[in-house]
Amino acid sequence: MYLLLLCFGVLAGVTTVLFGFGGGFVVVPVLYAVLVGVYGADSAQGLAAMHIAVATSTCVMVFGAGLASWRHHQAGTVPWGQVRPLLGYVALGAIPGAMAVLVLSGGWIRWAFVGYLALTILDSLLRPGFTQERSSRMRPLAKPAAAALGLFIGAIAACLGVGGSVMTVPLMRRRGASMTAATAAANPLSLPMAIVGTATYALLASNTAPLGAWHLGYIDVRACLVLVAGSWLGIRLASRWIGKIPDRIHAKVYIALLCAVLLAMVVH
């Protein structure tokens, strides 16, 4: 179990630094499948598998998004002028998003995850421009739009445990960003959501999720540590490719990865 999680932690690290995923698109489906497979669907862990997967993914994201943000900052790829206006609103939006998870069924969360992935893929494929090569210049957001989008991104990302990439990358692309700049922006925007979401899952779920030792609320601490170790290695390995992937290929691989995760969640 833990060797498998370590391997997928490496993949989570690679997709975090190169695609801004924050690890959630890898961690959530894998950890969900592992928990159900190891403990059984009728066990306490199996019944809460989706809640645990989302909460643990969010906790792993604190490390992954933080380290990836630093790597991109060192490479000079983060468009901080576009990112800073959204940070506070993303953090605020994460509070109701994480609290919603505590009252929703695991099945609802799973299919919400699937539905949002499908909508994002369709939007990226059908809306003109996503796979076309762009520059690193972006049109700035107006303050009301930044507030509304930040709150929405934080709420959805915390609810599904997926980080902000699924919303911020298409948003930045539509505003003229290169894939390097768009994915670089996704990591610091995932960080405040991950911090607030992790605290919420740990504190508010502590009395409602009696899952035994090595659990902090819905967070599986052992799985989290293994995934963080793998994520660290993946980020180190992939950092050398920052800014070196051709823009069109970068965009197409991003969509292909979303399709792979969608398929994994649907067929399980």
For the chain, the straight-line distance linking the first and the last C-alpha, in angstroms and rounded, comes to: 17
- Cα 263 from Cα 268, distance rounded (Å): 8
Residue 175, classed as helix, strand or coil, is coil
Other Cβ atoms closer than 10 A to 147: 17
Tell me which residue of 41, 157, 179 sits closest to 93, measured CA to CA: 157
Instruction: With CA atoms as reference, report the closest residue to 165 among 261, 58, 254.
Output: 254
Supply the DSSP string of 125-174, one letter for each residue.
Answer: HHSTTTTS---S--PPPPHHHHHHHHHHHHHHHHHHT--SHHHHHHHHHH
Which residues pair with residue 220 across a beta bridge?
A: 215
Is residue 268 predicted with pLDDT exceeding 70?
no
- In terms of pLDDT, which residue wins out, 179 or 138? 179
The lowest-confidence range among 41-55, 101-115, 147-161, 187-201 is: 101-115
Highest mean pLDDT of the ranges 130-134, 136-140, 172-176, 186-190: 186-190
Tokens 């293994």: give the residue: 226
Give pLDDT tens digits for 142-157: 778 888 888 888 888 7
For residue 231, the model assigns a pLDDT of 94
CB proximity list for 189: less than 8 A, separation 6 or greater: 83, 86, 87, 90, 153, 164, 168
Q: Report the candidate in 19, 8, 56 with the shortest Cα–Cα distance to residue 166.
A: 19
pLDDT value of residue 156? 80
Average pLDDT over residues 159-178: 76
Q: Which amino acid is at 40?
A: G
Query: What does the pLDDT look like over 126-146, one tens digit per residue?
Result: 876 777 766 556 677 777 888
Q: And the tokens for 100? A: 């919603």
Q: Alpha-carbon distance 204 to 188, whole Å?
A: 25
Residue 220, SS3? strand
Note the Cα 260 to chain centre separation in Å: 15
pLDDT number for residue 210: 67
Polymer length in residues for the chain: 268
Kindly report, residue by residue over 198-250, the tens digit of the pLDDT. Answer: 888 887 666 555 677 788 888 899 999 999 999 999 999 999 999 889 988 99
Residue % of the chain over a pLDDT of 90: 16
Q: What is the pLDDT of residue 209?
A: 52
For residue 189 the two structure tokens come to 């925007």
- State residue 133's pLDDT score: 65
Average pLDDT score, the chain: 83
pLDDT in tens, 48-73: 888 888 889 889 999 999 999 999 99
pLDDT confidence of residue 146: 82
Query: Is pLDDT of 78 > 80?
Result: yes
- Find the mean pLDDT for residues 105-118: 77
Mean pLDDT of 31-49: 84
pLDDT attached to residue 174:
77
The CB density around residue 222, as the number of other CB atoms within 10 Å, is: 14
pLDDT value for 70: 93
